[in-house]
Amino acid sequence: MGVGSVKLVLRLQQQREDGTCPLYVRLIKDRRVRFMSTGIRLEPRYWDGKRQRVRRSHPLAPVLNRRLENLLLKAQAALLEEGSADAAKAALKGAGHRLLLELGRQHVQTLLEAGKYWTSVQQRSMLQKLEAWRPDARLGDVTPGFVEDFKRWMERAGKAPATVRKNLQSLRRLLRFAMQQGLLDPGKDPFLTVRLPSEPVPYRRRLSWEEIEALARVELPPPPAALSRARDAFLLAFFLAGARFGDLARLRTENFQGLDGPEPWVRYRMAKTGRWVELPVPRRAVEIVERWRGPWRPLIFPFLRPGDLGDPVRERRRIASMNAATNEALKKVAAMAGLEHPETLSMHVARHSFADLARKIGDLYSVSKALGHSRLAVTQRYLAELDRQAVQELARRLWERGNSS
């Protein structure tokens, strides 16, 4: 990319009856050209285009030239710092003139640098919709009416209520970023008066013990076959108190303790919350871990490749890709097992299933601890720290009941 160029241009084609023409700043970067008015009008005889100065014959030449010199310096700095002609023009005109898309891309980059990959994905998704609706929208345009219009546009485009809500939350997150940057007065936050759509009650597919057993009985090719990997990953996630797919994909042998003993345990840090989870491992889960010995060790399952490890962005992209592929494989296994509505099965159903079965025999505190929730309110909506014995007792009762069913 080039550094761009800045030049003053007298627009002769816009000459008024008094003989004056408007003087503009021309910004060029990556073949994109933008013009911004200087607020100065001159008769052509007073303008020296080659030297980029007002001729000395003009009575206000010294004052105008100082003003233009300062403007050119600011324009050159803005073009260098902002990286595009559009962003430089917006910066010169003031915070309210910042293009939302430019600000949004800056926000995404900030999130990536902070390691918040999934939040950056959500922000990019919102920016794509904003670009399709109002690509020229500026920060100063974002009023309560703007937010309501964006909401109606998404609804007319057929977006689900949950999608509309998430995108408005992403827009609110962008505005808070603008406030942190000093670009938006908190008192002008449109979300002070705009109410988000009600959060829809999600449908949480969950399996009964009989359906879990039906999945386990399906005869599949041995590891590392994709169908076997999907089924066994689902079962292990269920036996590990509804472990999320990303955590399951990262599980290593060192996360397990005492696999050869009478009371094996697993301990890992949840990627979503950063909280440590410590759980007893039922014997059937141990069998799955042992069955998946292979050249991919120390990983339990071959979801991640060597090149993915150590690169957070690449690792998360791989996990997202493998999660989608695993969900598709699970649907095939569910159909083979004769489950109803196999198309609704996904890896997260293992978490729903554990929570549903555990709540029927365990106290709320123990279930919350097993799921790794930070607050009981989270567990209540989904259907802190308790001692190890409470979780162990919950697991013992649950798995003994499962083995006897």
pLDDT digits (tens, 9 = 90+) for 71-94: 999 888 888 888 788 888 877 776
Among 349, 380, 381, 385, smallest CA distance to 370 is for 385
pLDDT of 349 > 70? The answer is yes
Give residues with Cβ within 8 angstroms of 373, minimum separation 6: 379, 382, 384
Length of the chain: 405
pLDDT of 371 > 80? The answer is no
CB 333 within 8 A of CB 227: yes
pLDDT score recorded for residue 87: 80
Residue 404 tokens, joined: 């006897």
pLDDT score recorded for residue 380: 45
| Chain segment 214-229, per-residue pLDDT in tens | 999 999 999 999 999 9
pLDDT of 385 > 50? The answer is no
Q: What is the CATH number of domain 209-404?
A: 1.10.443
Look up the pTM and report it.
0.57
pLDDT score recorded for residue 392: 60
pLDDT score recorded for residue 278: 85
Binning pLDDT at 50, 70 and 90, where does residue 342 land?
very high
Percent with pLDDT over 70 in the chain? 86
DSSP 99: B
Q: Measured on CA atoms in the order 304, 310, 115, 271, is the torsion positive or negative?
A: positive
Could you check whether 100-192 and 209-404 share the same CATH topology? no
**146-150, 179-183, 242-246, range with the lowest pLDDT:** 179-183
CB contact burial 308-337 (16+ within 10 A = b; e otherwise): beeeeeebbebbeebbeebbebbbbbbebb
- 100-192: what CATH class? mainly alpha
Residue 231 tokens, joined: 């089924």
| Chain segment 17-62, per-residue pLDDT in tens | 999 999 999 999 888 899 988 889 999 999 999 999 999 999 999 9
**158 bridge partner residues:** none
Bigger pLDDT: 78 vs 9: 9
**152-156, 207-211, 369-373, range with the lowest pLDDT:** 369-373
| Chain segment 130-148, per-residue pLDDT in tens | 999 999 898 888 999 999 9
Domain boundaries, the chain: 5-93, 100-192, 209-404
Bigger pLDDT: 115 vs 291: 291
Bigger pLDDT: 356 vs 154: 154
Three-point CA angle 371, 376, 380, nearest 5°: 85
pLDDT score recorded for residue 3: 72
Give residues with Cβ within 8 angstroms of 289, minimum separation 6: 236, 253, 256, 259, 281, 300
pLDDT score recorded for residue 99: 84
pLDDT score recorded for residue 54: 96
For the chain, the average pLDDT equals: 86
- Rounded distance between C-alpha atoms, residue 206 and residue 356, angstroms: 7
> What would the mean pLDDT of 193-212 be, rounded to a whole number?
81
pLDDT of 375 > 60? The answer is no
pLDDT score recorded for residue 366: 52
| Chain segment 392-405, per-residue pLDDT in tens | 655 666 666 556 55
Among 236, 216, 289, 234, smallest CA distance to 259 is for 289
Binning pLDDT at 50, 70 and 90, where does residue 115 land?
confident
pLDDT of 249 > 60? The answer is yes
- Rounded distance between C-alpha atoms, residue 283 and residue 262, angstroms: 9
Percent with pLDDT over 90 in the chain? 55
pLDDT score recorded for residue 360: 67
Among 300, 320, 316, smallest CA distance to 308 is for 316
> What would the mean pLDDT of 267-282 be, rounded to a whole number?
85
Long-range contacts made by residues 356-362, C-beta under 8 angstroms, separation at least 24? 356/204, 356/206, 356/383, 357/206, 357/209, 357/398, 357/402, 358/241, 358/394, 358/398, 359/383, 361/394, 361/397, 361/398, 361/401, 362/394, 362/397, 362/398
